[in-house]
Amino acid sequence: MMNVGQGLKSVLVVDDHDLIRLGICRMLADVQGITVIGQAASGEEAVDKVRVLSPDIVFMDIRMPGIGGVEATHRILSRYPNTKVIVVSAFNDDVYPATLLKAGASGYITKNAGSLEVKAAVQAVLSGKAYVSPELAQMMVLNGMQSGQDNSPLATLSHRELQIATMITSGRRAKDVAETLNISPKTINTYKYRIYEKLGVTNDVELTLAAVKYGLVDPSEVI
């Protein structure tokens, strides 16, 4: 366990892209009272480094190799409830923020956030408040006001279903997903068909197209 001392709050930055990690670290360098004590490039590495370093805050990407950011966030918060997780994602729909905040994340910002917003997010979560990027917060409020409408079928997915859908639409086979999550391929297939039914699709190609349509996948990631 690392002791940063001097009342500083420690931060772990998690993203599978070096440039994004370095960019976040650079912005955090301008925030008084905190220090970056480590970086990770996958969900598994993030969980391991939280165990070793005990950071106060984790800046967490969603789509990464391995278990990904959704499962990593779940594991970190279940094992280390005093850790604050701020999700940093390229996705600007309201499904991920609602899901992750419900799971215990303290904040959600997009990757186009500037240094002032990063600072605001840090200050908010350290004071015990939740922080969501203003445009996302507005979207969540507006969608919540539209009673009687299902704005996105993704909102009907459970935490595990959303996680598996994310991994499948990243091009991973059911067998690989099962090994990563340490559950049987049969169980993965059961989840897949529940996801198919909820999203109104019949195969992985249609699932990927639906994921693009509803903001689960960036269109640039689809080959």
Q: What is the pLDDT of residues 114-165, one digit of tens each?
A: 889 999 999 999 988 888 887 676 665 545 534 334 566 777 888 788 888 8
Higher pLDDT, 96 or 193: 193
Q: Mean pLDDT over residues 174-190, rounded? A: 89
DSSP 12-45: EEE-S-HHHHHHHHHHHTTSTTEEEEEEESSHHH
Other CB atoms within 10 Å distance of the CB of residue 117: 16
- Residue 165: partners with Cβ closer than 8 Å, 6 or more residues away: 154, 157, 195, 199, 207, 211, 216
The pLDDT value recorded for residue 83 is: 95
- Rounded to the nearest 5 degrees, what angle is found at the Cα of 167, between the Cα atoms of 205 and 184? 105
Which domains does the chain show, CATH number per domain? 9-143 (3.40.50.2300), 153-221 (1.10.10.10)
Alpha helices (H) along the chain: 18-28, 43-53, 68-79, 95-102, 115-126, 134-145, 159-168, 174-181, 185-199, 204-213
pLDDT confidence bin for 7, thresholds 50/70/90: confident
Is residue 4's pLDDT more than 50?
no
How far apart are the C-alpha atoms of 104 and 100, rounded to whole Å?
6
The pLDDT value recorded for residue 103 is: 75
Closest CA relative to residue 70, chosen from 154, 185, 126, 127: 154
How far apart are the C-alpha atoms of 53 and 42, rounded to whole Å?
16
**What percentage of the chain carries pLDDT values higher than 90?**
39
How far apart are the C-alpha atoms of 67 and 119, rounded to whole Å?
28
Closest CA relative to residue 204, chosen from 160, 174, 162: 174
The pLDDT value recorded for residue 210 is: 81
Is residue 5's pLDDT more than 90?
no
pLDDT confidence bin for 179, thresholds 50/70/90: confident
Higher pLDDT, 185 or 217: 185
Tell me which of 23-32, 114-123, 200-209, 214-223 is least confident.
214-223
- Residue 66: partners with Cβ closer than 8 Å, 6 or more residues away: 42, 43, 44, 180
* Positive/negative CA dihedral, 41, 43, 46, 51: negative
